[in-house]
Copies of this chain bind each other. A is one copy, B any other.
Amino acid sequence: WTPVTQGEVMQLQRTFTFKNFRQALAFTNLVGELAESEGHHPEILTEWGKTTVTWWTHKINGLHRNDFICAAKTDALFEEQSG
């Protein structure tokens, strides 16, 4: 995960790579389920062969402990899907 700054907002971002579009979209859906279950929603950019996930907390315009937890859970989903 790389800390990125959009405007003045610090965010956590990671790009996950896949063999094709379908697998990237499948991962987007896994992250979407995580987001719904956490009640915390990242930005998810889906492209051919890659998905970029960006976590931050809108309410504080920056990073909260929960964002790091969600980033770790996102990694775990990637491990599962990549198997």
- A46 in complex: contacting residue of B21, B46, B48, CB < 8 Å: B46
**17 sampled A-B residue pairs with Cβ under 8 A:** A21-B32, A21-B35, A21-B36, A21-B41, A22-B32, A25-B29, A28-B28, A28-B44, A28-B46, A29-B29, A32-B46, A41-B48, A43-B45, A43-B46, A43-B47, A44-B45, A45-B46
Contacts of A46 in B (CB 8 A): 28, 32, 43-46
A: which residues have CB within 8 A of B? 21-22, 25, 28-29, 32, 35-36, 41, 43-48
* CA of A45 to CA of B46, assembled, Å: 6
Cβ contacts under 8 Å, A28 to chain B: 25, 28, 44, 46
| Cα–Cα, bound, A46→B41 (Å) | 10
Nearest B residue (CB) for A32: B25
